[in-house]
Amino acid sequence: DVPREAWFRLGRKLAFYKGTRTLYSWTGTMFEYLMPALFMRTYGDTLLGESLTAAVRIQQAYGAERGVPWGISEAAYSARDSALSYQYRAFGVPYIGLKRAWPGDLVIAPYASMLALMVDHAAATRNLRAMQALGWTGRYGFFESADYSDSPGTPRVIRAFMAHHQGMGLLALANTLLDAPMQRRFHPDPLVQATEYLLQERLPALLDRGPVEQPLPEELSRRYEQWKMRPEAPPARIAAG
């Protein structure tokens, strides 16, 4: 088995957005950051704890900049297959995902805000009430998502319910309202107790060099076009052997 100490030798790549730093996730979804918190405790002044809080703040800022409710995660969206079933994939904030989402994609998932209740319950409650006022609820609660990608201002509401998203939302509500019963059930397990200190890793000391936001795909494309217009740009030939 790999010793526990190996965890602390792994890299810790941090993302920055609007002056807020957080650990990178794979695609920048709310699910990737907050799903583990359904079961595992979060400690203050730790790398994981601060990253979860920062990820929620970044999602809030990203939604506010676009004038939509916040909360982006894996979800069904407006595309359908030949059987007219909604398609499903990961959506996230591009700046904090290692696998960059296309910036034109904007799909808001209410269950993402329900997960955020565990981090910022006041803001998440306001956001969920705003979604309710927009008509994003049905017989079984909040609908799956609202797809703004092709219809800015007037989203296509995905009037479907996915059991695993509804379940995560219910667990988040229970953790918020009932003093985290699932976490209290999970942590007494000896296997969890043996490695619980890994959740308490402190924040790394960073040089104050300011945030560096990586360019998004359309920015890279624009820079490439500008580079092609430069008369001094040398020609290049690439050969593969």
Predicted local confidence at residue 4, as pLDDT: 77
pLDDT tens figures, 12-30 = 889 999 899 999 999 999 9
pTM above 0.75, yes or no: yes
pLDDT band at 213 (very low <50, low <70, confident <90, very high): low
Instruction: Determine the distance from the C-alpha atom of residue 55 to the mean position of all C-alpha atoms in its chain, rounded to a whole number.
Output: 7
Instruction: Give CA angle at 207 (32, 42), nearest 5°.
Output: 30
Number of CB atoms found within 10 A of residue 175's CB = 20
pLDDT tens figures, 175-211 = 999 999 999 999 999 999 988 989 999 887 654 444 4
The mean pLDDT value of the chain amounts to 87
Tokens 């296997």 belong to: 191
Predicted local confidence at residue 145, as pLDDT: 98
Residue 194's DSSP bridge partners are none
pLDDT band at 11 (very low <50, low <70, confident <90, very high): confident
Whether 72 contacts 93, CB under 8 Å: yes
Whether 158 contacts 143, CB under 8 Å: yes
Tokens 């009932």 belong to: 178
| CA distance linking residue 216 with residue 211, whole number of Å | 15
Query: What is the token pair recorded at 214?
Result: 């990586």
From the list 99, 107, 114, 126, the residue with the least C-alpha distance to 216 is 99
